[in-house]
Structure 1
Amino acid sequence: MTAPVLHTQRLTLRAPVMADFPVYAAFWASERTVYMGGPKDKAGAWFWFCHDVAQWALLGHGGLMMVHSASGETVGQVGLNGGPKFPEVELGWLVYQGHAGQGYATEAAGALRDWAFASLPVPSLVSYIDADNAASIRVAQRLGAVLDASAPRPDPEDLVWRHARRIS
């Protein structure tokens, strides 16, 4: 499957391209990744970058870059993660330095969540979040996710926030 291009009020969500990697790698080298298993060196960042791209062909979902539509600046990434590392399809997000606290993660994750429920045969999505990552917990709550203490998780220390399909 080819990655979709999604539009929100302020963002364009599009497939990663090679030109995105330097900023992505800089993000993974930063302390901002402490709640996500980082920091990581360039090779570690490359692993996750390729993972996000390859999932589109292999699983029908993956990562999308968050591009500020007015400025053209990439402000982060949102993604649907699957495969052997993830017990369920995970809705995840990351926001680059200087762009946190502006609602981009909530905006992008809400759009990708809605696309996933319209396009994929998943009963729900989960977000695996470190218990100390208050900012990401707030994003999950704003998205309407609820804590699921009984859900399996790739890291036993993570909290699992469940995003249910909305019944129309």
Structure 2
Amino acid sequence: MIPRLETERLLLRVPEMKDWPDYAELMLSPRAVYMGGPFTTPVAWGMFCHDLAQWQLFGHGALMIETRETGRCLGQVGINYGPLFPEHELGWILYEDAEGKGYACEAARALRNWAFEVRGLKTLVSYIDPENTRSRRLAERLGATLDPAAPGQDPTDLVFRHPRP
């Protein structure tokens, strides 16, 4: 049920326990500020489990981003939904040493295309903190446009609407 997606450089795969330490380190750090963090360990664990549980509940969720060349995990890309999200949301997180190399764009594009073409989603947005300029630029590189009329997950979020591929 959970897809394994491949791009030129990346493998997008199901989260595993070996991914937890790096995920937790990010979520407990100041780098999680644009996602509502930093979080406590119990909250980060709940988020990690939530990312996996969504596959069972909604037929989509999070995938870890791994390099095909080395097998190193670089972060996560996912589709969020449920009572906390007004619409299906495409989100991404990268570990600090993986930033600036185009990995998030490559992974997000692959999952976005899967969401529209395979999963059949009708709409997809990204909720982005107004101060998160890197994520704003990434959404724009993906072709997403600001939708000021759309409700955000948080009232201060910018909502970027993704085009169908």
TM-score scaled by structure 2?
0.98
Deviation at 1:163, TM superposition (A): 0.5
Distance 2:8 2:28 in 1: 30
Deviation at 1:21, TM superposition (A): 0.6
Deviation at 1:29, TM superposition (A): 1.0
Distance 2:152 2:119 in 1: 21
The residue that corresponds to 2:160 in the other structure is 161
- The aligned length equals 165
The residue that corresponds to 1:20 in the other structure is 19
User: Which whole-Å deviations, capped at 9, do the CAs of 1:123-157 have from their partners, x for residues lacking one?
Assistant: 22000000000000011000000000000111010
Q: Is the partner of 1:124 in helix, strand or coil?
A: coil
Q: Is the partner of 1:71 in helix, strand or coil?
A: coil
The residue that corresponds to 1:127 in the other structure is 126
Q: Is the partner of 1:92 in helix, strand or coil?
A: strand
Match status 1:42 vs 2:59? no
The residue that corresponds to 1:64 in the other structure is 63
Distance 2:138 2:157 in 1: 15
Match status 1:112 vs 2:119? no
Structure 1 gap segments, 5+ residues each: none
Match status 1:84 vs 2:78? no
The residue that corresponds to 1:102 in the other structure is 101
User: Which whole-Å deviations, capped at 9, do the CAs of 1:7-51 have from their partners, x for residues lacking one?
Assistant: 011110001011111111001011111110011121111111011
Deviation at 1:120, TM superposition (A): 2.3
Counterpart code for 2:15: P
TM-score scaled by structure 1?
0.96
The residue that corresponds to 1:53 in the other structure is 52
The residue that corresponds to 2:139 in the other structure is 140
Query: After TM superposition, which residue ranges in structure 1, 4 or more long, deviate above 6 angstroms?
Result: none
Distance 2:120 2:11 in 1: 24
Distance 2:10 2:70 in 1: 10
Distance 2:46 2:118 in 1: 26
Contact 1:15/1:63 (8 A) holds in 2: yes
Contact 1:145/1:161 (8 A) holds in 2: yes
- Percent identity reads 55
Deviation at 1:122, TM superposition (A): 2.0
Contact 1:123/1:164 (8 A) holds in 2: no
Deviation at 1:58, TM superposition (A): 0.6
Contact 1:76/1:96 (8 A) holds in 2: yes
